[in-house]
Structures are given as C-alpha cells and as structure tokens.
Structure 1
Amino acid sequence: MLPALALDAPTERVAVNLLRHPEWQYDGFSLVFLFADVGPSLQLADWLDQRLAMQGRPLHRHEAKDSFVRHPEAAVDLLVNRLADLSAQPGGVWFAIQRHPGDVQWNRARTLFLARLNERRFLLERDLKRPLVLVLPAHFRAETRAMAPDIWHKRDLSEELRWLPDTAPTSVQVSMEPLATRAVEDGCLPAFAEWQRMASASAAEQAFLPTAWKDS
C-alpha cells in the first residue's frame, strides 16, 4: 500500500471538502470549481487520486496540453464527447486548465472554453453521472462568473487554493503533465514531486514551456 500523502492544513481543508463529492456523491452529477495555483492543485489531485483509488474509484484526470491555447473549443468537445464513457466508470472527473496563469493567450483560451462549456450546460447535467472538478487559475473566479453564469449558478462547491507565503517558490512556476501515480520515496506522487523539482530549479536549469503561437 502506498504511504499516505501529507498536506498542509489549508490544503487539507480544501481536500476534505472536495473529497466529499467523489466519495459521497459518486453516482450523480455535481460541479466543483477549484481556483488554484499550479503546484498546490497537482498536490491536491495526487492526494484525491490516492484516496479514491483505495476505494476503487480513481480520479479521471485531464490536464490541458499546449494545444489548448490554440483550440479551447476542442477541449470542450473532448469533455462533452466523453460524458457517457466517464459516467460508465467509477470515480470523479478532474478537468484542469490552470496552467500558465499569467499568460494572456492562455487566459483568453480559458474564457472561450468557459463560454462554450456554459452553452453545453444541459448536456453536462443530463449525461455526466459523476462529480466534475474544473480547475482554473487562482485569480480566475470573476472571469468564470462572467463567462459561465449558468454553470456557475449550478455549482455545488467552489474553493481557492494558493501557495502559502512561506512555501511559494521564488522562481518561475512551471507546470508538468501528470506522471505515473506511484509514490516516490518522500511520499509525494510524481506529478507534484516533478513540479517541485522544476519550480525550485535555478533559472539556468528550468525548462520553460512555450506559449506563444501564430496563425498558420
């Protein structure tokens, strides 16, 4: 059995609140908004996945890739087209688009994603029989209310998760795609452990993910 992941007190409070939905309301639709910094959100996803996997209901995680900034509508289509498949599997759905929180083009893509998803609210409620956690940057609450008023009104929970002042990395934050869900020696799962390594590296050692793009 994997060692239990340890969380700081603020993260644990958010984690327990979120866990109630995939743990207690696993057989019906519920909508949770999580506004979070990248590192803590990965840590939280690892924690939730570990807890739910022990119950036979692993978290179904989707992390936005670089193509999201060019085709946010495709991400909506991806989610909507998988509603039936996701409903047939145990476990909640984690859909994360919180990467590059300070990037203008990523933020524009996020607003378009929310607007299109808001138009599909009926399909979400009708066809998804599992809890859905939408993960957005910590500062994106006002934009979410403005661009997706219908699904915002239908939310069951919204939470905010930020770095604690004494633990936030001073270097540029770099988010990584989730790796295998296997604990490493210090008890962290690889997604968060790798993010920590990259975020704490010196500027010369960091790998920066490109976000700029041009129309072809």
Structure 2
Amino acid sequence: MFKHETVSFDDEPLILVDSEDRVIGHETKLKAHQGDGLLHRAFSIFLFSGDDQVLLQQRSGDKPLWPLFWSNSCCSHPRRGEELEQAIHRRLREELAIDAELHFLYKFQYQAEFGGRGAEHELCSVYVGKLETPVAVEVNPSEVADWRWLSCAETDRLIAEEPDQITPWFVMEWQRLRNEYRERIAGLSATPLRKVA
C-alpha cells in the first residue's frame, strides 16, 4: 500500500528542448515552470479498458499548478539522462502502482499559464495502453487525489460541462484522440495489468 511517498521534486532536472525536440540543456522542474515556462520534454498517458472506458485522475491538492484538476491517467516528465520509454513506466509505478504495455501516438507542443503561478511549456509525447478490465488502482496521495473510470461519452461531457476543472493539456489531447486516433485505439490488444509493489 502506498504511503504518502514524495516522487516529484522541485530540483529534479528536466530536459530542455527546441521545437524539433533537440536537447538544448537542462533545468530544475521549479525553474522550468516559472513565468511563461521553458520548453521541456513531457509525456501523457491514457489507459483504456476496452474501447469505451478511460482512467482519469484528479491531481493532488499539493500540486503547484492545476491542483485538484481532473486530467488523463498519468503525466510527467523524463529526467536528465532518462529515455521516454523508461520515464513512462517509472511514472505509472510511482503514481498508480501499476505497469502496462504502452503505445506512442504523437507529440505536440503547447503552452498554458496557470493564474500567474507558473506555466506548462511542453513538447509532450502521448501514449495509450489498453487493459482487459477497468480495474481498481492504488494511488500515491502525494500525486493523485482521486481517480475514476469514465466512458468516452462521459469524458466528453465532463470536458464540455466542467472545463474549469480540467487540465488544458488533457482537453487538447482528448480532442485529438477522439478525432484522429479512435480506430488505432480500438485496434489495440488488451494486455494484463501488472501491479507493482
């Protein structure tokens, strides 16, 4: 069972990139998110069950940016010296105590400010995975306040009806998944959930 384990740190070194995803340096997470933000690598993960259920998480109230906002299944950043493939699985384990087979879909650049408190400025790689059933997950309370499985239609309604409770990157990514990647997601084979200690 998760303790209130801290897995995110202000001084963790993020990977700064240009718009072509070329590494141009490194900066602490704190400084990378100040002001308008410095462009850095990031990733978002969507876990589906079948074609019609998606796992959402509510961000911890301790988050400096978008606390208690609903977002996709898992998201974070690779650290200096870490490949994306390593980072995506590390973060699933740290936030949800699970691992799963993940598939890269696309990457995109965005910038979003949060009420003068800082900003995300990311070149974000989007991954999806499909589980056999909508299982219960065990969340790390330092990262995740709550979670729920919703149907895709319910997720559409949540975004339409409560946009001020949803992270901006989740909205952008979900619209693209729904508009461009439905068939790709439907064609994924479900893989057994791997729970980790």
> Shorter-normalised TM-score: what interval?
under 0.3
Structure of higher CA gyration radius: 1
Higher helix share: 1
Higher strand share: 2
What's the TM-score once normalised by structure 1's chain length?
A: 0.26
More contact order relative to length (CA 8 Å, sep ≥ 6): 1
